[in-house]
């Protein structure tokens, strides 16, 4: 069965900057099995780290690499990015039960030292994800405005140091994402989005995967550890370093990927 998007779905994505309502890429039994294995990955965290530090561990973990390379997911991404694209990032977003941690309104592309902007984020639900447990909200069409001004906020529960400034977008028009375990959403790297805390009695677990067309180039002066993994097609540009597929089921990287935000923080 092909999971390529229909022309109508592709048109919705390009108009709104996101897409919901695609078929689940994992059955309930499959996603339950993956979630049952997650503690073997989190056990690799060291003192002072938390689950937000599970970034780019697909480089050393077959468990994550296989999810990123799921052909059903790649079919959908290919429908948006075209035949030539690579994997370059992944991250767990786990909001524990009762957590007040939020994610302020932002655009992914602001944090990434990459150009041009031609990337897609897949948000895969490991648990039920809805308004009651802090699911993502996104402002439709906001990707078409380009990059907006971000600033620092002191009094906030957000895990981000830099957020969009008030008045730069229409929060009232935001769409609430709701996903069942095994389902996913897709969004453009310039789409304005954020999420609130999780007051529910259950954790909210999501896994994000970032893909870019081969024309996209990383700035190695900011993120020297950047690696790509071809998903489909060929790379005629050869802008970026190529990673090696992992060989162990559970592994981790021993360096911290750096974003534009962190580079700004350091300066």
* 19-46 residue pLDDT tens: 999 999 999 999 999 999 999 999 999 9
- Domain CATH for 181: 2.60.120.620
**Residue 142 CA: distances (Å) to CA of 139, 148, 195, 213:** 6, 10, 16, 21
What average pLDDT score do residues 252-259 get? 86
pLDDT tens sequence across 132-144: 999 999 999 999 9
Number of structural domains in the chain: 1
Over residues 63-85, the pLDDT tens digits come to: 999 999 999 999 999 999 999 99
Structural contact between residues 110 and 204, judged by C-beta atoms closer than 8 angstroms: no
Contact 5, 19 (CB under 8 A): yes
Tens of pLDDT along 200-215? 999 999 999 999 999 9
Which structural domain, as residue segments, surrounds residue 252? Answer: 7-266
In the chain, the percentage of residues whose pLDDT exceeds 90 is 81
Which percentage of the chain shows pLDDT scores above 70? 93
Q: Is residue 151 assigned to a domain? A: yes
pTM for the structure as a whole: 0.94
| Position 143 in a domain | yes
Nearest alpha carbon to residue 192 among 230, 143, 235, 261: 143
Taking the CA of residue 19 as centre, how many other CA atoms within 13 Å lie in the half-sphere pointing to its CB? 24
- Is pLDDT at 169 greater than 90 in this prediction? no
In a domain, 1, yes or no: no
Q: What is the mean pLDDT of the chain?
A: 92
- Mean pLDDT (whole number) for 164-181: 88
Residue 2, in any domain of the structure:
no
Q: Following DSSP, what letter does each residue of 44-93 receive, concatenated?
A: T--TT--GGG-BSGGGT-HHHHHHHT-HHHHHHHHHHH-S-EEEEEEEEE
């Amino acid at each position: 069965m092909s999971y390529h998007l229909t022309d109508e779905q592709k048109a919705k994505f390009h108009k709104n900057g996101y897409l919901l309502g695609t078929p689940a890429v994992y059955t309930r039994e499959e996603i339950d099995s993956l979630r049952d294995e997650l503690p073997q990955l989190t056990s690799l965290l060291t003192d002072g780290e938390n689950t937000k530090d599970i970034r780019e561990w697909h480089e050393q973990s077959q468990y994550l690499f296989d999810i990123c390379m799921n052909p059903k997911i790649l079919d959908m991404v290919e429908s948006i990015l075209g035949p030539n694209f690579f994997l370059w990032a992944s991250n767990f977003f786990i909001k524990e039960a009762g957590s007040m941690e939020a994610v302020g309104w932002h655009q992914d592309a602001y944090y990434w030292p990459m150009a041009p902007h031609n990337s897609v984020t897949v948000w895969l639900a490991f648990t039920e994800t809805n308004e009651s447990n802090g699911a993502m909200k996104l402002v439709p069409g906001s990707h078409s405005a380009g990059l907006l001004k971000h600033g620092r906020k002191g009094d906030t529960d957000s895990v981000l140091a830099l957020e969009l400034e008030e008045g730069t977008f229409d929060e009232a028009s935001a769409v609430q994402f709701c996903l069942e375990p095994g389902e996913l959403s897709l969004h453009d790297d310039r789409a304005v989005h954020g999420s609130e805390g999780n007051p529910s009695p259950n954790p909210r677990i999501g896994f994000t995967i970032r893909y870019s067309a081969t024309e996209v180039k990383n700035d190695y002066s900011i993120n020297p550890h950047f690696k790509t993994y071809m998903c489909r097609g060929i790379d005629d540009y050869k802008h970026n370093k190529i990673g090696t597929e992992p060989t162990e089921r559970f592994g981790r990287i021993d360096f911290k990927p750096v974003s534009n935000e962190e580079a700004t923080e350091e300066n």
